[in-house]
Amino acid sequence: MTSSDTMKPALASLARTCEAIANGRFDEVEELYQVITDEGVEADIRALAETFSGMVVQVEAREFHSSQLIAELTETKRQLEAAEAKLRKENAELKTRLDKFEVTYDKEQAQAEIEQVSDSDYFRSLQSRAKDLRSRYKS
């Protein structure tokens, strides 16, 4: 068997595997390892297969890291949504409590109460005493 005879299948295998990798299919990576370990394949081709193998490892590591980040972000989103729901509930409860304590100021009613107090004999008596006291201290 000549060097050319072992090269053609190795190159064809390498080409198929690289195409699969380019399309996101990493299940054919084993063929790379067969090319790398086949002593009958030229060193340059084995080195190329090894380079592709290294790239596959890096891509898989990035994909794993990305999936971990996505999982963490999903959990963080879930926690934020739970916190938001809790805050909405607390705000609603506080608004209900505030509505119970709400005091309205009615100007007409306040004016009527002031007139009622100021028209009383007791208030007039207090006014008179205050006037007398002021006049004593001025003299």
Domain count, the chain: 2
* Three-class SS state of 103: coil
Q: Residue 88: give the domain boundaries.
A: 3-101
Mean pLDDT of 65-70: 96
Grade residue 71 by pLDDT with cuts at 50, 70 and 90. very high
120: DSSP letter? S
Same domain (yes/no): 114, 47? no
Q: Model confidence over 8-44: pLDDT tens digits?
A: 777 888 888 888 888 888 887 888 888 889 888 889 9
pLDDT of 78 > 90? The answer is yes
Mean pLDDT of 120-138: 88
- Got the DSSP string for 34-93? HHHH-TTS-HHHHHHHHHHHHHHHHHHHHHHHHHHHHHHHHHHHHHHHHHHHHHHHHHHH
pLDDT of 4 > 80? The answer is no
Same domain (yes/no): 129, 62? no
Same domain (yes/no): 80, 46? yes
Distance CA 114, CA 119 (A): 8
Same domain (yes/no): 91, 133? no
Same domain (yes/no): 84, 127? no
Q: Give me the count of residues in the chain.
A: 139
